[in-house]
Amino acid sequence: MFAALVMAWMLAAPVARAEIDGHGPDAWRVNGVGADDHLNARMGPGTSYAVIETFAHDERGLQQITCVPFVPPAHYLRMTQAQRDALPARWCLMRDAAMTRAGWVAQRFITPDDGVAPTPAPAAQAGPGRVAHDPYAPQPGIDPVAQAVDLVREVYERQFQSENSALPSAFDPAVAPDYFTDDIVAWLASGDMGAHPLYGAQDFDGAIGEPMPDPDNPMLRGMITIHVDFTNFGMDQRAVFLIRADTTKPGAPLRIFRVEHDGWAYP
C-alpha cells in the first residue's frame, strides 16, 4: 500500500528540477539505447532495484523529477577533483510525458530533448515585438549587482551540471549568448582557448568560492565587477568577471564582456 501511494505521488507531483539553477531542460529523451532495446526504469537508483517500467529507445518528452547523488552546486565547487571523481554514477527519477510511467534510470542514457517545442505563450501575453523574458534584463526593484552575482554563479553551476549530465556548459556556443557578449561567444566558438575559461588552466583540482562583488567598486559607470576566488592544485587564484548591460540584445540584459585571470584575460 505504501509503495502504491509513493508511486501515485511521484506521478502526480510537479516536476522538481534536478537543474538547481532553474534553467534546466524542459524535456529529456532516451539516448544511447539500441533500436532493438529499451531503457529500464527501476524502483530505486541502481541495478539492484527491480525494473518496474521501460522507456522506448527513442522516447522523448521525459520529465526529470530529481537525480542522485544530490550535490548542490555551491558544495560541488568546494569539492576537490578527487572527491568529484569518487562520486557514484548518477541516477535520475524520470516520468513520461503522459505521467503514466515513472522510474529511476542511469543518467548516461538521457539527454536534453531540444526537439520538443515549447508551450506557446497565452494570446494575452503575446504581441508584436515581444521578447522572451531574460532573467538578467533590468527589473524594477532588483539590484543589478545582485543580478550579476547570480549570472556568474549560474556560469559555474552550469559547469557543474555539464560535468554530471548532458546539459551543455555556459561555454557551449549554443547557450553562451545567454551569458556572454558576442565577441566572447565568437572566441568560444573558435575553439582557440588554450585554457579552461573558468580555471585559467588545462586541468582543475581544487575548490571554488562564492562569487562576490568587488568590495571597492562593485559598479562603476555601468560596469559591474565580480570576483571568484579559488584554489587550483594548491595555488590561490582569482577570476574577475566584468559585466554590463548588452544594448545589442533586446531588453539590454547583463552579459559578461571580459574575464581576467592571473596573467591573461579574454576575449
CA gap 225, 178 in Å, rounded: 18
Report the pLDDT value the prediction gives residue 15, as an integer from 0 to 100.
36
CA gap 177, 145 in Å, rounded: 20
CATH classification for the domain delimited by 144-266, as one of 3.10.450, 3.90.550, 3.40.50, 1.10.3470: 3.10.450
E strands, the chain, are 28-30, 38-42, 51-56, 63-68, 91-95, 102-106, 110-112, 206-208, 212-213, 219-220, 223-232, 235-245, 254-261, 264-266
Helix (H, G, I), strand (E, B) or coil at 105: strand
Report the pLDDT value the prediction gives residue 186, as an integer from 0 to 100.
93
Question: Span 234-246, mean pLDDT?
Answer: 95
Side-chain half-sphere CA neighbours of 202 within 13 A: 1
Nearest to 153 by CA among 76, 221, 62, 218: 76
CB 223 within 8 A of CB 242: yes
27 — pLDDT class (breaks 50, 70, 90): confident
b/e for 10-33, b at 16 or more Cβ within 10 A? eeeeeeebbbbbebbbbbbbbbeb
Cell of residue 65, nine digits: 523529477
Report the pLDDT value the prediction gives residue 60, as an integer from 0 to 100.
92
> What's phi and psi for 101, nearest 5 deg?
-130, 145
Question: Span 225-253, mean pLDDT?
Answer: 94
User: Hunting for cell 583540482 — which residue is that?
Assistant: 205
Report the pLDDT value the prediction gives residue 131, as an integer from 0 to 100.
35
Which is higher by pLDDT, 260 or 112? 260
115 — pLDDT class (breaks 50, 70, 90): low
Average pLDDT, the chain: 80
Report the pLDDT value the prediction gives residue 166, as an integer from 0 to 100.
67
265, amino acid identity: A
Question: CA of 76: how far to CAs of 90, 155, 168, 194, in Å?
Answer: 14, 13, 17, 24
First to last CA, the chain: 59
CA gap 58, 81 in Å, rounded: 34
Report the pLDDT value the prediction gives residue 266, as an integer from 0 to 100.
92
CB 211 within 8 A of CB 152: yes
Q: What is the pLDDT of residues 138-176, one digit of tens each?
A: 888 889 999 999 899 889 888 887 776 667 888 988 889
CB 95 within 8 A of CB 62: yes
CA gap 260, 82 in Å, rounded: 27
CA gap 155, 211 in Å, rounded: 10
Domain layout of the chain by residue ranges: 2-112, 144-266
Least confident of 22-36, 41-55, 198-212, 219-233: 22-36
